[in-house]
Structure 1
Amino acid sequence: MFTLVLLSTSARAEVHPVDDIRLAAEQFLIQELGVTDTEKDVSIEIGQLDKRLRLVPCTDGLEARFPPGGRRDGNTAVHIQCAGPVTWQLYVPATVERYAEVLVANRTLPRQHTLSAGDLRFQRIETSRHAGSYHEEKNALIGQQTRRSIRPGQIIGTQHVSPREIISRGQRVTILAENGSIAIRMQGEALENGTLGERIRVKNASSGRVVEGEIQASGHIRVAL
């Protein structure tokens, strides 16, 4: 667990200033989360503390850390502890919001639709409150196939798409059998649907033998001799 020691400027005060404690929590979150001065995608808000707190001045510095099991996003808290000479501790409430430009459906997308660039648009969301998956790069989705209907504006997660099937059951295919420098091509029939790189069963049209091979391209399956 990361611990940041912050030296107090209130050594001569009768009580430790509440604002000093809030600042320690904020500085800890900024450093722990790697937030820069120009950061636009992370927002940190430190909760208020009771101004009536009467804490002994902390001359040996404030230690800040996340509580055990504490969250780094959303509603969280920072554990602040005085290193001495008199020890005290408390939890400072905080809210950390993260934002990102994620891909959503630009229109209604039917099931088994192959995605193109025009099907997608970016939308800024608070990812710290989004429980599901999402994508930030169009290339990760273009060419994928929808598993279900997707409504306009819906965030497209990994559960919504799958690699596009390029071979269908019953399709006539070319079987390439290789072993070192020996390569034999023959015709066959795909017995299963499949995507690029997937292994499926295929039947040799001449011998009727069923073998398993890897889909190399649309209509092409490679098997071992």
Structure 2
Amino acid sequence: MKKYENFIRCLVLSCGISLALATPALSESTAQYTPEQLTDLAAAWLEQTLDVQATDLEIQLSALDSRIGSKDCAHQPTFNLPNNYNPRQTTVQISCSAPLSWQLFIPVRLTEWLEVVVSRQNITPGTMLTADMLELQRRERRLVRGLIVQDPTQIIGSKNKRSLSVGQVISLQELCLVCRGDVVTIQINQQGLAVSTTGIAQHDGSLGDTVQVRNQQSGRSISTEVVGVNQVRVKF
């Protein structure tokens, strides 16, 4: 009977040794990361990866649940975004390969902001815009439509083709930088030679539009591109 007891005792001890060997030991270089620390690291990684300051991007992370507990990692945790991720809502993957492989996912909301020119007052169609009628406001990018204006000086002196209400975002499609019948400056740049003359606009046009202008000196109609308020450039 004692032989069997000794055998069982030996078997238990040997199993204990095997189990101990199968359990990975924490090395001196292994660090523990709490859910809060992992959330902070993910936020810092996102800010650097997405260049938050350059794009005026607001990041909102859903903090990891504290019930997950601390995670061991023998190296710096790895952070990744999905390929072709949604620019408004996505997830950050946090992973580690040693001493045990694990991965976590943090939901993220991304909001991009823009400084855009808006109307400070109600403006009737055909009004020449002045500096006191305009101001810059911060707006969410996804809510802004059209060819926005981010520099008020770019459109001072232009005229609006439609009514503008207080706080309305101004787009170039709503303006004529060159209006029919206005005297405009014609810029001619060719082979390093730059000259200018004046003409009469035959059509309304916004930035980048092609308009016909009648040269006041020659009376000839020429094709030009709108480059600014009452400014056109000859197209060759």
Query: Which TM class, normalised by the smaller chain length?
Result: 0.5 to 0.7
Q: Give the secondary-structure state (helix, strand or coil) at the position aligned to 2:43.
A: helix
Distance 1:78 1:23 in 2: 12
Mapped pair 1:25 → 2:42: yes
Q: Which residue of 1 aligns with 2:175?
A: 161
Aligned-pair Cα RMSD in Å: 4.5
Q: Which residue of 2 aligns with 1:146?
A: 160
Kindly provide the CA deviation profile for residues 78-125 of structure 1, in whole angstroms up to 9, marking residues without a partner as x. Answer: 222224343332321223444444321111122333322122122233
Which ranges in structure 1 are unaligned for 5 or more consecutive residues? 1-8, 172-187, 204-208
Which ranges in structure 2 are unaligned for 5 or more consecutive residues? 1-27, 184-198
**Residues 41-60 of structure 1 mapped to structure 2, 5 A cutoff:** 42-53=57-68, 57-60=72-75
Q: Which residue of 2 aligns with 1:118?
A: 132
Mapped pair 1:34 → 2:51: yes
Q: How many residues align?
A: 189
Q: 1:147 to 1:66 in 2, by over 3 A?
A: farther
Distance 2:179 2:158 in 1: 9
Distance 2:152 2:82 in 1: 37
- Which is richer in strand? 1
Correspondence for 1:11 among 22, 30, 45: 30
Output the amino acid matched with 1:111: P
Mapped pair 1:68 → 2:83: yes
Q: Which residue of 1 aligns with 2:93?
A: 79
Q: Is the 8 A contact 1:10 1:57 kept in 2?
A: no
Q: Give the secondary-structure state (helix, strand or coil) at the position aligned to 1:64.
A: strand
Distance 2:34 2:126 in 1: 61
Which runs of 4 or more aligned residues in structure 1 lie more than 6 Å from their structure 2 counterparts after TM superposition? 215-218, 220-224
Q: Which residue of 2 aligns with 1:104?
A: 118
Q: Give the secondary-structure state (helix, strand or coil) at the position aligned to 1:31.
A: helix
Q: Is the 8 A contact 2:113 2:141 kept in 1?
A: yes
- Which is richer in helix? 2
Q: Is the 8 A contact 2:178 2:201 kept in 1?
A: no
Distance 1:106 1:154 in 2: 8
User: TM-score of the superposition, structure 2-length normalised?
Assistant: 0.59
Larger radius of gyration: 2
Q: 1:91 to 1:162 in 2, by over 3 A?
A: farther
